[in-house]
Structure 1
């Protein structure tokens, strides 16, 4: 029996990576939806800045969601795709009725911190198993998310 998937990685390793990627995918979906809510509901003196920033962030998150799901498929596994699965396995919680700018930025910072931690876990496993495609995808995201965290922290200061 062949132990390699269609791109030459160990099937069992790919299964473990896909499980972690699915957790990341679920968390990204909650992060994305929270950002949409912030974008729609933001009020106050920071409205113009934050309305645009949240749109930028959710568009970026949507791109990452697609890339993560496609990576799961590339390594021969199936991405989760139901909201109930996302809510069940996500560490990020739904937010509702947040219209205050500082509260929305704080929640975004907290959500992004969760994503960064999950990305580092995926990166570690992918590096251990020689999955350079996943390493490349996640490394790029980590760099971008670290910069965004820095900017959010500066805004909150």
Structure 2
């Protein structure tokens, strides 16, 4: 059935493509945060173990919200590791860095998600796609705050 929500097919496709990059970044950050939750050691163990759990739990919800928005726009959401590897601007961590490096990488990951969301925003705004613009605003706000909190641990 044809989608008739007041946003043309070309604009919906462009927005969905941008959201696919956001989904890949968010999922990659989720996986990295979960990995660091499992493997953090050192004097900040308890604080970071708990903080990382809170963060990856929030990211799991975000992944679903972003994927469902892509679907509402009428396009399939990427859902494989190979798609995420191709679409994400965040690099996976192969090893187990120390806690300071973990925090540094997560700051960079949250900032990368913000930049990806910011790239999609003008397209959503120009198309009158308020639900996507709202989602992007919420994501940027949360990731900027999380990056600030993590960055504070290193100062």
- Give the Cα–Cα distance (whole angstroms) in 2 for the partners of residues 109 and 137 of structure 1: 21
- Give the Cα–Cα distance (whole angstroms) in 2 for the partners of residues 98 and 54 of structure 1: 15
The structure 2 residue matched to 1:39, chosen from 37, 40, 43, is: 37
TM-score normalised to structure 1 length: 0.94
- Give the Cα–Cα distance (whole angstroms) in 2 for the partners of residues 31 and 133 of structure 1: 23
1:93-114 C-alpha deviation (Å, 9 max, x unpaired): 1113324111100000011111
Contact 1:6 1:76 in 2 (8 A): no
Task: Give the stretch that moved more between structures: 87-96 or 59-68.
Answer: 87-96
Instruction: Output aligned runs, 1:1-157, within 5 Å.
Output: 5-157=3-155
How far residue 141 of structure 1 moved from its aligned partner, in angstroms, is 1.3
Contact 1:29 1:86 in 2 (8 A): yes
Cα RMSD of the aligned pairs, angstroms, is 1.2
Give the number of equivalent residue pairs. Answer: 154
Over 3 Å off, 4+ runs: none
Give the secondary structure class of the aligned counterpart of 1:7.
coil
Structure 1, unmatched stretches of 5+, are none
The change in CA–CA distance for 1:47 and 1:99 in structure 2 (over 3 A counts) is farther
- Give the Cα–Cα distance (whole angstroms) in 1 for the partners of residues 110 and 143 of structure 2: 7
Contact 1:27 1:115 in 2 (8 A): yes
